[in-house]
Structure 1
Amino acid sequence: MQADSLQAFNDQRVAIVHDWLVVNGGAEKVLQALVKAFPHAEVFTLVNFMPEGSMPWLGRHLVHTSLLQRMPFAKRYYRQYLPLMPYAIEQFDLRGFDLVISSSHAVAKGVITHPDQTHICYCHTPMRYAWDMKEAYLKDAAFRLPGMESVVRKTLKRLRQWDYFTATQVDHFLANSHNVARRIAKYYRREADVLYPPVDIDGFAFYEGPRDDYFLAASRLVPYKRLDIIVQAFAQDPQKRPLKIVGDGPEFKRLARLAEGHDHIELLGYLEGSALHSLMQRARAFVFAADEDFGILPLEAQACGTPVIAYGRGGALETVKGLEHDNAATGVHFSEQTPQSINHALHQFEENAFDAYACRQHAERFSQTCFTQRLALLLASVYKPPIASESPHAYHH
């Protein structure tokens, strides 16, 4: 097998298992890279509710869904079927494949494989709401029915047990960051090689022109992204630095209330990729407050030549080079998820100069080409093709 190419897999039967297809987020960008790397692969996913035509790159691949696809109200409430997801993922029949790659942040790695198959899990994160984010998840749920929290706690305990057991059935783990590799070691007691997710560097053109005066934040507007502290920081800013926020989600109304009376803060809602790209190119800096496993948006900003002000935890420590890198810095880290910490970082940002070319150069280390080359090297080191292929054809659901 060639260490620098995936063409050696053309004769292998490959199955790619993905948790669910509902939104086109970071996990789906990895899925896109995987199906491009394995053009004959078949895809297995719990549910597929993506609008037709929204993922043209998936069109030529056979996509199998689970029994959850046909459950009542699954399109809107698929997450409520979490207790059934382990059972549903185990029902896929993968006997017809040589190599199984699961792209997992929830239950995909729990798919059942056989001794003559190799199962490689690309782990975006161990299931956060069952492990380290359990208490935050339970708090945000705000249960109204008596006894419901106790029921959910017991469900999450069973889910952790299942999650730990299925980790023992994976042949090899790939982690999307050193941050996640440490969490895999903590919760699963397994080692993992690091393979950074692919960033569409070519889709975010470098811009060396003059910058506008605003700062930019963008993400799905959900609680753990912590857009609230970004809004509060800029609302408290005596200099009234302009802030633009791109995104939509359940936190939109709350953020709008926090921004009331502060004309220098704009909530722009959801914008198409080209519009977001244009805003990234001209922003003074991209502001990112989430504790992410990896986080692609800060790298997309750096691909444009835009520095980043980011919370100094999780994946941002790997994707943003802080002030300790001197002339090679691509941004500033702030130490606490508080408005005061962000405002201190804004002050540090303005006291330093950042080179747009250094930002772009750093982002290029995470390109799709780098992803594919490293994937080929890692697979060459762990995958041994079957000597004889006598497996029956895959069962198509």
Structure 2
Amino acid sequence: MSGHFAHSSPGATDATLLPGRSVALVHEWFGATGGSENVFRRIADLVPHAERFVLWKDRDADEPGLRESWLSRTPLTRSKALALPLMPLVWRTLTRERFDVVISSSHAFAHTVRLGAPSDTRHLSYVHSPARYIWSPAFDGRGANPLLVPPRRALQAVDVRLSQHVHSYAANSREVQARIHRYWRRDAVVVNPPVDVAYFSAAPRADREQPRDYLLGIGRWIPYKNFDLAIAIADRMGVPLVLAGSGPEEAALRRAAERVRVPVTFEVRPDRARLRQLYWGARALLFPVHEDFGIIPVEAQACGTPVVGLRRGGLLETVVDGETGFLVDSTDPSAYAPFAQRIGELVPERAITHAASFSEQEFASRLSAWVRDATA
């Protein structure tokens, strides 16, 4: 949810990337909100002369200038699970145009697109994750769709075979870098996604001077985000909880909130300014979930708010254990309880400084270095 509210420009780089070369930027389906969409926009800022292709654009996505595939004219846009087996074909029949450089933003099959022979076209792929639907369905309940069970192994083989032409990969995290190596047997550089840390750090004085008197959970209310666990943790810690977001689990979470001793407040679809207020008023962000990277914990730290979460995935990169938060090896709520008292030991300024290393300027610099190196 967070990282999806507004899109400010990244810091200036030395010059526009790939001047004088024809460039295609390719993304999966384009939704109204999402971290991968924000990455795609930031890449487009660095290559403003590029053509931009997507499978389709959701009806509520306000993004001009996108060229949609023929899949956008079919009912399959309403079911990603049904559309998934067709995606490799769609990427191979996207356009007859050819480009000097292709940069794909991939979390399914966008990296399989071919817009020129490998001898003539440099293909770079920024990977949010190898398709969870087919490679690691345990991470994402959508991959458990019965329609995907029979073709999953075939799709894995297709995924590997149709991506041999990619010249260079960048991964959004060390977690995804390891997955690329494990599934595709390819190396990747790590370029963490951009976070607008400047906005969250530069809150009005009234926001910054709030008492920090509650725990905070932010994100989409879906099962794998573990907000039911966050409610149980807050109960064990004996600290009120605010849950900000929206999603299909709302009713179940409200029922769970009624069964605990601490107050649980729901903030449904807060705007960006309200979200910043919530970060600054929180004693800590609860994040007991395995994410590939996780923009929300970085935003929290940009507000001086420590993170208490699971010692897995992206938090191993974004949180300095014992300095900007605490990492826990368990999903047992009682394992988190001791940190209720230790949160006060942490220095907010340390978290703010650490969050700056994930800024939009850092992303622009690291992505530019990757592109220049891979296309030299």
Same fold (TM over 0.5): yes
Alignment partner of 1:300 is 2:299: yes
Aligned residue number for residue 69 of structure 1: 72
* Residue 64 of structure 1, CA deviation: 1.1
The answer to whether the 8 A contact 1:310-1:320 is kept is no
Match of 2:132 in 1: 128
Matches within 5 A, 1:184-263: 184-206=180-202, 208-237=208-237, 239=238, 241-262=239-260
Unaligned runs of 5+ in 2: 1-12
For normalisation by structure 1, the TM-score amounts to 0.84
- State how far apart, in whole Å, the 2-side matches of 1:19 and 1:159 are: 16
1:394 matched to which residue of 2? Answer: none
Tell me the amino acid that sits aligned with residue 110 of structure 2. A
- The 5 A counterparts of 1:44-83 are 44-51=53-60, 54=62, 58-59=63-64, 62-72=65-75, 74=77, 76-83=78-85
The whole-number CA distance in structure 1 between the counterparts of 2:233 and 2:246 is: 20
Q: How much has 1:287 moved relative to structure 2?
A: 1.1
Report the 3-state secondary structure (helix = DSSP H, G, I; strand = E; otherwise coil) of the residue aligned with 1:247: strand
Which shows bigger deviation, 310-319 or 208-217? 208-217
Partner residue in 1 for 2:23: 14
Q: Secondary structure at the match of 1:203?
A: helix
Q: Secondary structure at the match of 1:15?
A: strand
Deviation at 1:139, TM superposition (A): 8.6
Deviations 1:25-84 (A, max 9, x none): 1111111211111111121111101526x4xxx43xx3111122111263x434432222
Partner in structure 2 of residue 389 of structure 1: none
Q: Secondary structure at the match of 1:255?
A: helix
Match of 2:273 in 1: 274
Corresponding letter in the other structure for 2:216: L
Q: How many residues align?
A: 357
What residue number does 1:340 align with? 334
How far apart are residue 348 of structure 1 and its match?
Answer: 4.1
Partner of 1:330: 324
- Alpha-carbon distance, 1:106 to partner: 0.9
Decide whether the 8 Å contact of 2:217 with 2:242 is kept in 1. yes
In 2, are the aligned partners of 1:21 and 1:50 still within 8 Å (CA)?
no
2:242·2:266 contact (CA, 8 Å) conserved in 1? yes
Q: Give CA-to-partner distance per residue, 1:321-348, whole Å, 9 cap, x none.
A: 101xxxxx10011112232233344354
* Contact map agreement 1:334 1:345 (CA 8 A) in 2: no
Distance in 2, Cα, partners of 1:315 & 1:50: 31
User: Which residue identity lines up with residue 31 of structure 1 in the other structure?
Assistant: F
Deviation at 1:206, TM superposition (A): 4.0
Secondary structure class of the residue paired with 2:150? helix
Q: 2:374 and 2:35 mapped to 1: Cα distance?
A: 25
TM-score (norm 2): 0.89
Equivalence for 2:101: 99
Q: Tell me if the contact between 2:124 and 2:169 (Cα under 8 Å) persists in the aligned partners.
A: yes
Q: Is there any run of 5+ residues in structure 1 with no aligned partner, and where?
A: 142-148, 324-328, 385-397
Q: Which deviates further from its counterpart, 119-128 or 76-85?
A: 76-85
Q: State the Cα RMSD in Å.
A: 2.1
Output the CA distance in 2 between the equivalents of 1:83 and 1:269: 35
Distance (whole Å) between structure 2 residues aligned to residue 94 and residue 337 of structure 1? 50
Tell me the alpha carbon deviations over residues 272-319 of structure 1, each in whole angstroms, 9 at most, x when there is no partner: 111111111111111112211100010011111111112110011100
Does residue 369 of structure 2 align to residue 377 of structure 1? Answer: yes
- Decide whether aligned partners of structure 1 residues 133 and 45 sit closer, same or farther in structure 2, where only a CA change above 3 A counts: same
Give 1:24's match in structure 2, choosing from 4, 8, 33. 33
Question: Which whole-Å CA distance do the structure 2 matches of 1:91 and 1:197 have between them?
Answer: 29
- Aligned pair in 2 of structure 1 residues 228, 6: CA closer, same or farther (>3 Å)? farther
